Amino acid sequence: MGDKIEKVSIIVSKGSLEGIYPALIMANGARAERIDANLFFTFFGLDAIHRARHEHIKLATVGNPGLHLASLAGVIPGMSSVMTQYLERKMEKLDIPSIPEFIEMIADSGVGLYGCKASCDLFELTKGDLIDQVEDIITVGEFYELAAGGEIIFT
């Protein structure tokens, strides 16, 4: 066995269910193991912490190889919503919280939430556009300082 991981910093760049949940699960698992964790939301990953969008995250159906044959149906209007509802029902049965609930839970456990300054500038977002749990909007350099001494995970 190697050294124990003491800190992880997770980059969230995708704004879909399958892009956001892995980061939330990993951050939650880190805190359960008493590992410090930070989430850095960039590009479309900002949807997970965007006040107007975080409750409306959908499963990406078009071009999603993980959906196999259902991926072909992804071009049908409304299919993303249907598949999202299907997956949400399955997750609810497993007691997996919604994205807003999950974010609140992990923030309460001490996970740091940060928006990417370059992406916020690109999409003309301010801290006021983001949910209350977001600690700050930081530069990539500040993210690296925050991540120093730990592992960086890109989901």
* Residues 88-127 pLDDT 10s: 888 889 999 999 999 999 999 999 999 999 999 999 999 9
What is the rounded average pLDDT for all residues in the chain? 90
Work out whether the CA dihedral 123, 131, 55, 20 comes out positive or negative: positive
Is the pLDDT confidence value at 75 over 70?
no
Instruction: Please count the other Cβ atoms lying within 10 Å of the Cβ belonging to residue 54.
Output: 20
* Residues 31-61 pLDDT 10s: 999 999 999 999 999 999 999 999 999 887 6
What type of residue is 124? E
Instruction: Kindly compute the dihedral angle of the four CA atoms of residues 96, 100, 105, 110, in this order, to the nearest 10 degrees.
Output: 130
Contact of 115 with 125, CB cutoff 8 Å: yes
pTM, full prediction: 0.88
Name the fold adopted by 7-55+98-154. Answer: Hypothetical Protein Ychn; Chain: A, (3.40.1260)
Which two structure tokens, joined as six digits, stand for 128? Answer: 């006021």
Report how far residue 116's alpha carbon sits from residue 46's, in angstroms, rounded to the nearest whole number: 8
Residue 131 has a pLDDT of 98
Which two structure tokens, joined as six digits, stand for 121? Answer: 């500038």
Residue 6 has a pLDDT of 96
Residue 88 has a pLDDT of 82
